[in-house]
């Protein structure tokens, strides 16, 4: 996030897209509701489903799945044509405006309606509403990123924010809502194949030299490793022989699960480190029981880049260890002694080697967290990014054209499927499905379908159906809902017994490598 969660309440207009905010981020959604109900903010929601947060919206735009670049370009077309953009900001703080203007010229409201299904007048009205705001905040989540054009979608939202001068200001920003409590921290610490901590590139010889000296090794590799979505195909083809999985359950969360199962089965050696015996852990050669968040010391970096302390409340059960202790013990047995005495000592190393964390220490965040970048011990942290200038100097506009999703509905598979989360279950259910109360509220998978489609397919609430894609099939019960829009069905991905990801498409974004979880073609039939 470029801005803070609290900043949401300071916005004049909030644009939410690709985020079922009330169910995926219920606490954060309360900031949006307060901004709208108590502080006069206008809300634009762009989502293929009539999600709960749309009840608060002044504008709800319903695009066809996978058409985000087109409607964003449509908004920018109107804003530029009507001279509503922040001319001084664009001139002084950005480059590439002419390229953007040329690209979006053809995305007239009428053309965008043909692609997205959003009426032309709604495009015009939403563009005027966002552009008129002195402070406009954009919130997005995996409904934007989990596409073969996910990177293009995010760049397009950045284009829109810059066009209206909404980056570097209080109440503005482009704000991705992180899907898990420390996924931001995992990325910050180098949990990506091409960076060290603080996004220092492994291809950068100075970064490699600095890390090698700190870790007392002669040299470090200069080539990126594999993305997670490259590991499974490599295992399937016999090129990857062993896999060490920490806190992840790919046999429920990966796309095209039939392929993922074959890939896992083809490994010579599988290690899973987790707090419960997940579907993936059941297939492991070695299971390493780890401590949960309440059983260890450390830090979380949350969705707004705030680094916060986590303190041990209870002892780990049985033979469970903190993750850093397990990793250190394995490294030591493999010939590289890792002799940390505590998580505090690890944090001190992080601060030494990570410029954006250099001023963050346990003592400074004892009572309240700090936002990175925080380059020294006197720095107050950076709640809002890009205030004076962008990291690279001037912000770069990118002219981006719409590309269709990798898979389209046809006569054999006439419906579109999109997937997502529920309020009462979480991710692959590793924790929430151990909780009786949550299971009583959300006990099983379902297929959400519009009343019109239910009539067309002669289906009623509770009827068990078989839903199939080109990759596999599952069975689940029908849930007729006004949230759904005709032609599109929704399935929550939490449930291993009817895993939505048996159906999803493993086609990848060429830049990020993220799968297209949010669009695939399916067909429905009554279960035998």
- What phi and psi, each to the nearest 5 degrees, are found at residue 290? -115, 160
On whether both 508 and 455 belong to a single domain, the answer is: yes
Question: Does residue 488 lie within any of the structural domains?
Answer: yes
Question: What is the residue range of 355's domain?
Answer: 179-222+295-313+338-376
Residue from 327, 78, 32, 300 nearest 171 by CA: 32
Residue from 290, 298, 368 nearest 340 by CA: 298
Residue holding tokens 């010889």?
205
On whether both 309 and 434 belong to a single domain, the answer is: no
Q: What is the CATH number of the domain that holds 303?
A: 3.40.50.740
- Domain end marker among 360, 376, 392: 376
For residue 8, the 8-state DSSP code is: G
- Domain end marker among 120, 152, 177: 177
Question: What's the pLDDT at 151?
Answer: 96
Question: What's the pLDDT at 95?
Answer: 96
Residue 396: CA atoms inside 13 Å, Cβ hemisphere, count?
A: 7
Question: What's the pLDDT at 354?
Answer: 97
Question: Does residue 163 lie within any of the structural domains?
Answer: yes
Extract the tokens encoding 56.
């608060």
- Residue pair 228/253 in contact by the 8 Å Cβ criterion: no
On whether both 137 and 199 belong to a single domain, the answer is: no
Q: Which contiguous run of DSSP H or E holds residue 186?
A: helix 183-188
CA distances, 102 to each of 99, 126, 158, 475 (Å): 5, 21, 17, 48
Residue from 496, 495, 494, 484 nearest 524 by CA: 484
- Domain end marker among 150, 177, 204: 177
- Residue pair 328/337 in contact by the 8 Å Cβ criterion: no
On whether both 185 and 95 belong to a single domain, the answer is: no
Question: Does residue 260 lie within any of the structural domains?
Answer: no
On whether both 186 and 158 belong to a single domain, the answer is: no
* Count of beta carbons in the 10 Å neighbourhood of residue 528: 6
Question: What's the pLDDT at 47?
Answer: 96
- Residue pair 492/420 in contact by the 8 Å Cβ criterion: yes
Question: What's the pLDDT at 181?
Answer: 84
Q: Which residues are within 8 A (CB) of 528 and not within 5 positions of it... i.e. 6 or more apart?
A: 466
Q: Which residues are within 8 A (CB) of 194 and not within 5 positions of it... i.e. 6 or more apart?
A: 201, 202, 203, 224, 225
Question: Does residue 489 lie within any of the structural domains?
Answer: yes
Q: Coil, strand or helix: which one is 32?
A: helix
The rounded radius of gyration (Å) of the Cα atoms in the chain is 24
On whether both 360 and 476 belong to a single domain, the answer is: no
Q: What is the CATH number of the domain that holds 39?
A: 3.40.228.10
- Residue pair 21/139 in contact by the 8 Å Cβ criterion: yes
- Residue pair 462/469 in contact by the 8 Å Cβ criterion: no
Q: What is the CATH number of the domain that holds 443?
A: 2.40.40.20
On whether both 455 and 485 belong to a single domain, the answer is: yes
Q: How many domains in the chain? A: 3
DSSP string, 411-464: SSS-EEEEEE--SSS-TTSTTGGG-HHHHHHS-S-EEEE-HHHHHHTT--TT-E
CA angle 130, 519, 274 (to 5 degrees): 100
The Cα–Cα gap between 131 and 43 comes to: 13
Please identify every stretch of the chain with a pLDDT value under 70, giving residue numbers as ranges: none
Question: Does residue 247 lie within any of the structural domains?
Answer: no
The Cα–Cα gap between 357 and 375 comes to: 6
On whether both 157 and 185 belong to a single domain, the answer is: no
Q: Which residues are within 8 A (CB) of 193 and not within 5 positions of it... i.e. 6 or more apart?
A: 224, 225, 226, 227
On whether both 44 and 119 belong to a single domain, the answer is: yes
Beta-strand runs (E) in 76-140: 94-95, 136-140
Residue from 468, 493, 464 nearest 477 by CA: 464
On whether both 346 and 205 belong to a single domain, the answer is: yes
DSSP string, 301-346: E-TTSEEEEE---SPPPTT-B-HHHHHHHHHHHTT-------HHHH
Question: What's the pLDDT at 467?
Answer: 96
Q: Which contiguous run of DSSP H or E holds residue 207?
A: helix 205-215
Extract the tokens encoding 403.
């590309």
CA 497 to chain centre: 24
Question: What's the pLDDT at 391?
Answer: 86
On whether both 59 and 117 belong to a single domain, the answer is: yes
* Count of beta carbons in the 10 Å neighbourhood of residue 354: 20
Residue holding tokens 């409201």?
109
On whether both 420 and 516 belong to a single domain, the answer is: yes
Residue holding tokens 């001279």?
83
Q: What are the tens digits of pLDDT across the range 33-91?
A: 999 999 999 999 999 999 999 999 999 999 999 999 999 999 999 999 999 999 999 99
């Amino acid at each position: 996030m470029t801005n803070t969660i609290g900043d949401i309440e300071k916005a004049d207009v909030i644009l939410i897209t690709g985020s079922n905010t009330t169910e995926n981020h219920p606490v954060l959604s309360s900031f949006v509701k307060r901004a709208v109900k108590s502080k006069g903010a206008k809300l634009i929601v762009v989502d293929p489903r009539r999600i709960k947060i749309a009840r608060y919206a002044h504008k709800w735009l319903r695009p066809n799945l996978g058409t985000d670049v087109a409607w964003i370009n449509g908004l920018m077309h109107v804003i530029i044509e009507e001279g509503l953009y922040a001319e001084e900001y664009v001139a002084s703080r950005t480059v590439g405006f002419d390229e953007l203007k040329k690209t979006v010229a053809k995305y007239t409201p009428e053309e965008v309606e043909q692609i997205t299904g959003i009426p032309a007048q709604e495009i015009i009205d939403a563009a005027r509403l966002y552009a008129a705001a002195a402070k406009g905040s954009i919130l997005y989540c995996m409904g934007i990123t989990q596409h073969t054009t996910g990177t293009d979608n995010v760049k397009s939202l950045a284009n829109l924010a810059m066009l209206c001068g909404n980056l570097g200001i209080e109440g503005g920003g482009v704000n991705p809502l992180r899907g898990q409590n420390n996924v931001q921290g995992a990325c910050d610490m180098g949990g990506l194949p091409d960076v060290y901590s603080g996004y220092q590139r492994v291809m950068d010889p100075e970064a490699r030299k600095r890390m090698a000296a700190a870790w007392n090794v002669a040299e470090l590799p200069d080539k990126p490793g594999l993305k997670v979505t490259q590991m499974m195909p490599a295992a399937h083809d016999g090129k990857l022989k062993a896999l060490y999985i920490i806190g992840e359950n790919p046999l429920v969360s990966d796309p095209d699960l039939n392929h993922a199962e074959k890939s896992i089965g083809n490994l010579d050696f599988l290690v899973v480190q987790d707090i419960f015996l997940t579907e993936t852990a059941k297939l492991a050669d070695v299971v390493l029981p780890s401590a949960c968040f309440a059983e260890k010391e450390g830090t979380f970096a949350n969705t707004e880049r705030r680094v916060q302390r986590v303190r041990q409340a209870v002892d780990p059960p049985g033979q469970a260890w903190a993750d850093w202790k397990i990793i250190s013990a394995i490294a030591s047995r493999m010939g590289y002694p890792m002799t940390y005495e505590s998580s505090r000592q690890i944090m001190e190393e992080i601060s030494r080697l990570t410029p954006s964390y250099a001023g963050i220490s346990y003592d400074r965040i004892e009572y309240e967290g700090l936002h990175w970048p925080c380059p020294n011990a006197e720095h107050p942290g950076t709640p809002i990014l890009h205030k004076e200038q962008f990291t690279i100097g001037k912000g770069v506009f990118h002219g981006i054209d719409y590309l269709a999703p990798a898979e389209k509905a046809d006569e054999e598979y006439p419906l579109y499927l999109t997937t997502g989360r529920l309020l009462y279950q979480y991710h692959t259910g590793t924790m929430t499905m151990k909780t009786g109360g949550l299971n009583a509220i959300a006990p099983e998978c379902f297929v959400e379908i519009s009343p019109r489609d239910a009539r067309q397919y002669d289906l009623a609430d509770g009827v068990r159906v078989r839903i199939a894609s080109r990759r596999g099939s599952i069975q689940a019960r029908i849930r007729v809902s006004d949230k759904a829009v005709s032609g599109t069905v929704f399935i929550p991905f939490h449930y291993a017994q009817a895993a939505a990801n048996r159906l999803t498409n493993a086609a990848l974004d060429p830049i990020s490598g993220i799968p297209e979880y949010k669009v695939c073609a399916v067909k429905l039939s009554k279960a035998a």
